[in-house]
Amino acid sequence: MAGEPWKTIQQRWRDHGRVMLGIALVATLVAGACQYGTRLLEVPEHGAYDRALNTYLVGRKPSSHVVVVAIDQTTLDRISKNEQLRINFGNWPYTRTLWASIVQELKAAGAKAVLFDAVMDERASDESADLGFAQVLRETGMPFYLGMATNGNAPSLPPVDFQAPVPLATPEAAPPVSPPSQDDTFPEEFEDGPATATPTLDAQARALAFPASRTDGQPLPELLYMSNQGRLEPRNPVLPIPALIGAVQGFGLVDTEADTDGTMRRTRFAYSDGINTYVTLPVRMMADLLGAKEVTFSGRTLRLGERTWLVDPDGSAALDYGGPLHQRYPMVRLIEVLQDWIHRKKGEPLELAADTFRGKVVIIGGTTPGLNDIKATPFSSTEPGVAKQAAVMETFLAGQFITRAHWSVDLGIAFLAALLSAVLLMTARWAPLEVAWPVGLVFGLYVLMGWVLKTSHTHVLTAMPSLAGIGASVAALAFNHLVANRETKFIRQAFSHFMEPKLVEQMIRSRQLPRLDGENKEITAFFSDIRGFSTFSERFKEDPRQLVRILNTYLTTVSGTLLHEGGCLDKYIGDAVVCLFGAPMDQEDHAIRACRGALAAKAAVEALRVDFRQKGFPDVYTRIGLNSAVNFVGNFGSDQLFSYTAIGDGMNLAARLEGANKAYGSVIMIGPRTYELAKDHIEVRELDRVRVAGKTEAVTVYELLALKGQLSPEQQRTVTHYHEALELFRRARFADAAAVLEAEAARAPEDGPTGKLLERCREYQESPPEKFDGVANLEK
């Protein structure tokens, strides 16, 4: 049974293998052009990637390396509503004295370094606040990193020689701070003091630029923006306030690095304006934490000092956000830090836990929409922009970036998806599969992408392989329905006048056509009949329609089990069913199929008998005969009516075996050749040796009981005792045989063959035969 589908598959591969390969290749090329040429797949790929991030790269514990100090709405409200805070720090944007206080508190709390996701490129109205903030940064020694913006109107900076001494003019000491206010907590604004030395332009360029290079000679990404005229124009860094040059540990780019749909998924680490190189703010901080003097890109590697990270060949990488900001990182309100600074000044207990900031990188950024720093990420369209800085820092400290799989891997997967689609659909040609496969393919590719993303932080494309697979599926379906249907139509038209429609469809599916002029071939014939059908039908002479319904139900039940095993229904003769196994299609296991079909039919009829009994219908006790032999199969009949069937002694014996069940009390009787072909797969009972009318040679017949290994211990015991009695019977020891059978009949009274053989033993005891050879004659 398993061999036939495989032969069909092999035949279809031989016939259409080149077409399958061609479809897969064309579908892959088209999908590749859409991905790499027209970029039509960018939007669906972004969607699939975002869903994968939300499914497979979430649920991790909050970071133990990064803490986010949030400038949230609560902070804004509490400062604006507190008169003393408002007097000292103003409303947003706050005076630099507030940031000086925050730096002091974070230093006291043991923070490792502070990354401020903002820029300070406009001088305060009171310059003493800027100078005071710079003074606090120098005095605390807190590593503080500040963002810098770029603008198309900003002037270009002079080239920086990183090997030359730092040309930084040291500002003079900041003016003294005025005495604290009456509550001894909030300092007043810094008073005017002596002018400080303004850093030279070279010094400012040196503070903003950072060495970055590629070992492969490829250029770094350029600082460009799209002008109103639709042209890419250069951007230059905007200088921070001079007072912070030399006080802030480092500056880094904080421009939004968004994809074409406005979502932040990637970062590019380093840029060039054609004159100098600049790095993003997290890179600048990480370089100092590792003692690195430059950032180097080598192939797929980013190097800072002794540490390396995998990146894409163009020097960029996708961000592993790990989930929404509030779930991924410990969040502390800015007002809480400010309150602890107040408490610390007064010597009061602090509100935040002692280890909140100890040894951690602190990232300060706005989280409320009012600060205009809300960006789109794969997790939300309204995520705070600081989420990007946090994700990059967390990855630098304890993770890995998400990189793209090599283009050859993506194309390879696309080709495999297309080839699998073409082969599967052109081989199976099954309508439910044609509908379900494209959906299953896309889902399977999504699961594959998610698994690779989770296990290796590698982004494997989903949209391009999906398009290739769907395109190949459509082409395969077109082939099936436009080409294969033409072949089917031809076969159906050519043979529908000669063969039953079901048989025609069966041949179409298997692509095996019989010889209509007939041929000799070994087959297994199946005959079944209902016991006492004449009496059965007599009950419905007043209601023949009911008889038809009952008979149709019975025939449908029996036929279904036979067709399931690959049988070919020959004909119905009233309640009798004739079925062929091994024709018109070759079936090497036709005897095994017939045995399975007979057992299945027996089981199905048993269930049907129970149902009929409950409904008050007559019993449909069924007897079955099987015989394997070489018969002549083909079309037989007249010009007016003919059908595909088989003739020969083998067919006659099968019919007689079905009728002989009555004499032996059995249900399924099989001939010797059927037993020989299927004996390794079935359990039987040898019933007798019989001689068919017109034949001199006796043959052994068997009762089919079950498939191999499915005989119960009680049945095995009955069969053993039957065989023991049969041997005594053949030796004409009828009394001894009857004794064995009587004991077994008492134990298994429902066993028909035991009872029938016991009757024969008793009959021969009373009237011994004149000539006994142990062979029974089948007269009809």
Are the CB atoms for 109 and 357 separated by under 8 Å? yes
Distance CA 556, CA 571 (A): 13
The answer to whether residue 1 scores a pLDDT higher than 60 is no
Question: What number is the average pLDDT over the span 373-401?
Answer: 95
- For 629-674, the pLDDT digits (tens) are 999 887 776 655 667 788 888 899 999 999 999 999 999 999 999 9
Are the CB atoms for 80 and 89 separated by under 8 Å? no
- Burial of 693 per CB tally in 10 Å (0-12, 13-18, 19+): exposed
Return the domain boundaries, the chain.
Answer: 3-40+429-495, 55-403, 501-711
CATH, range 501-711: 3.30.70.1230
Q: Given this model, what pLDDT does residue 171 score?
A: 46
- Show contacts of 714-718: CB within 8 Å, 24+ apart: 714/748, 715/683, 717/744, 717/747, 718/744, 718/747, 718/748, 718/751, 718/754
Q: Given this model, what pLDDT does residue 192 score?
A: 45
Model confidence at 497, in pLDDT bands (50, 70, 90)?
A: very low
- For 149-175, the pLDDT digits (tens) are 999 889 999 999 888 776 544 444 444
Question: What number is the average pLDDT over the span 131-141?
Answer: 95
Are the CB atoms for 111 and 145 separated by under 8 Å? no
- For 585-630, the pLDDT digits (tens) are 778 999 999 999 999 999 999 999 999 889 888 888 999 999 999 9
As given in the structure block, the two tokens for residue 631 are 């018969």
Question: What number is the average pLDDT over the span 536-564?
Answer: 86
The answer to whether residue 193 scores a pLDDT higher than 50 is no
Q: Given this model, what pLDDT does residue 191 score?
A: 45
Q: Given this model, what pLDDT does residue 493 score?
A: 61
- Comparing 57-61, 141-145, 707-711, 776-780, which segment has the lowest mean pLDDT? 776-780
The answer to whether residue 178 scores a pLDDT higher than 70 is no
- Burial of 654 per CB tally in 10 Å (0-12, 13-18, 19+): buried
Higher per-residue pLDDT: 25 or 697: 25
As given in the structure block, the two tokens for residue 524 are 């297994």
- Backbone conformation region of residue 567, classed left if phi is above 0, alpha if psi is from -120 to 50, else beta: beta
Q: What is the 3-state secondary structure (H, E, C) of 605-656?
A: HHHHHHHHHHHCCCCCCEEEEEEEEEEEEEEEECCCCEEEEEECHHHHHHHH
Q: What predicted TM-score, i.e. pTM, was given to this entire model?
A: 0.64
Q: Given this model, what pLDDT does residue 194 score?
A: 42
Q: Given this model, what pLDDT does residue 256 score?
A: 87
Task: Return all residues near 306 (Cβ < 8 A) that are at least 6 apart.
Answer: 290
Average pLDDT, the chain: 88
Q: Given this model, what pLDDT does residue 15 score?
A: 74
